[in-house]
């Protein structure tokens, strides 16, 4: 399956990363390696997981202004096992070593996002419930991390504050109540953006039914309360989507996978991931 890689954002981040890491030159490689020596480096999986972010590799060497030949053995979305060869890169040894760390930092991080996302997706397989990411992303890396979520089989929530209305607890408190917040949004939503409202209890939930809200977020509710919320909504006839949020671990999702939620949003997909272990060997 082809995924739309955010190449322009990636290029901007790679430039920043190379400026941070290489700056005026890789003195170790410059001073220890024979001039114009060429080698082939192989990227090897030291851990099983889902590959994401391979388009980063050519961007790194393009920004280094180095000519290399890249042969991919897998594509984004492939599940790899320990020892699998991901890609080979042929070029000047100096260039390979200068780009190694930046390339691996991006690749390992994005593979980590795709891998943990895929674990949540597998738990929800066979149910109607989809796993969503959040805005709890590394600053500047949002489009890349959300790309990796898609590669892992998950779905994207809103990209930022501009593309969807999400009324949360502080909005509700400042507006004077959940209905007051909804009415204010409804009057001003001339762009017809999708509207989601967070609720903390069943009374708030009931007050929003059959008013035209697109989605209701069940925030930090226990399993029994969420199950009751699903029952109330379905019996009301409202087609509003239901999303659960708050401390969603793999274990917790196993417990609520079959109660009939439309979405479960998981901040840990992007804010607490473990990078996938990948090495480069010449």
Per-residue pLDDT of the chain (282 residues; tens, 9 = 90+): 567 999 999 999 999 999 999 999 999 999 999 989 999 999 999 999 999 999 999 999 999 999 999 999 999 999 999 999 999 999 999 999 999 999 999 999 999 999 999 999 999 999 999 999 999 999 999 999 999 999 999 999 999 999 999 999 999 999 999 999 999 999 999 999 999 999 999 999 999 999 999 999 999 999 999 999 999 999 999 999 999 999 899 999 999 999 999 999 999 999 998 999 999 999
Residue 35 has a pLDDT of 87
Residues 157, 51 share a domain:
no
Crossing angle of helices 56-63 and 93-124, in 10° steps, is 150
| pLDDT score, position 260 | 96
Query: What CATH number corresponds to the domain at position 43?
Result: 3.90.1170.20
CA angle, 243 then 205 then 227, to 5°: 55
Contact 260, 25 (CB under 8 A): no
Q: Is 182 exposed, middle or buried (0-12, 13-18, 19+ CB in 10 A)?
A: buried
Mark whether 260 and 147 lie in a shared domain: yes
How many secondary structure helices (H) and strands (E) does the chain include?
11, 12
Q: Catalytic amino acids?
A: 101, 136, 168, 198, 219
In a domain, 14, yes or no: yes
pLDDT at 3: 78
Q: Would residue 102 count as lying in a domain?
A: yes
Considering the domain architecture, whether residues 89 and 140 belong to the same structural domain is answered as no
Position 2 in a domain: no
Expressed as residue numbers, the domain containing 43 is 7-114+274-281
**Residues 138 and 219 grouped into a single domain:** yes
pLDDT at 50: 98
Residues 156 and 221 placed together within one structural domain of the fold: yes
As a dihedral over the C-alpha atoms of residue 60, residue 66, residue 71, residue 73, rounded to 10 degrees, the angle is -20
- Does residue 163 share a domain with residue 109? no
150 and 225 belong to one structural domain: yes
């Amino acid at each position: 399956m082809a995924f739309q890689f955010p190449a322009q954002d990636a290029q901007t981040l790679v430039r920043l990363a190379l400026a941070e890491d290489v700056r005026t030159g890789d003195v170790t490689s410059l001073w220890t390696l024979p001039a114009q020596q060429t080698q082939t480096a192989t990227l090897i999986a030291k851990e099983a997981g889902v590959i994401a972010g391979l388009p980063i590799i050519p961007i790194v060497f393009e920004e280094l202004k180095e000519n290399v030949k890249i042969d991919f053995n897998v594509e984004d979305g492939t599940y790899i096992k320990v020892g699998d060869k991901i890609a080979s890169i042929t070029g000047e040894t100096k260039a390979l070593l200068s780009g190694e760390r930046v390339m691996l930092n991006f690749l390992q991080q994005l593979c980590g996002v795709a891998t943990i996302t895929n674990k949540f997706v597998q738990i929800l397989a066979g149910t109607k419930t989809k796993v969503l990411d959040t805005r709890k992303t590394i600053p500047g890396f949002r489009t890349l991390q959300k790309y990796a979520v898609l590669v892992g089989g998950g779905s994207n929530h809103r990209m930022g504050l501009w593309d969807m209305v999400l009324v949360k607890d502080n909005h509700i408190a400042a507006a004077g109540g959940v209905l007051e917040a909804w009415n204010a949004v409804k009057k001003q939503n001339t762009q017809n953006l999708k509207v989601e409202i967070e609720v903390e209890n069943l009374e708030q939930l009931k007050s929003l039914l059959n008013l035209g809200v697109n989605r209701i977020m069940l925030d930090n509710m226990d399993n029994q309360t969420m199950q009751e919320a699903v029952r109330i909504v379905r019996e009301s006839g409202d087609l509003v989507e239901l999303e659960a949020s708050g401390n969603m671990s793999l274990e917790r999702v196993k417990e609520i996978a079959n109660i009939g939620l439309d979405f479960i949003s998981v901040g840990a997909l992007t804010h607490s991931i473990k990078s996938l272990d990948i090495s480069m060997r010449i």
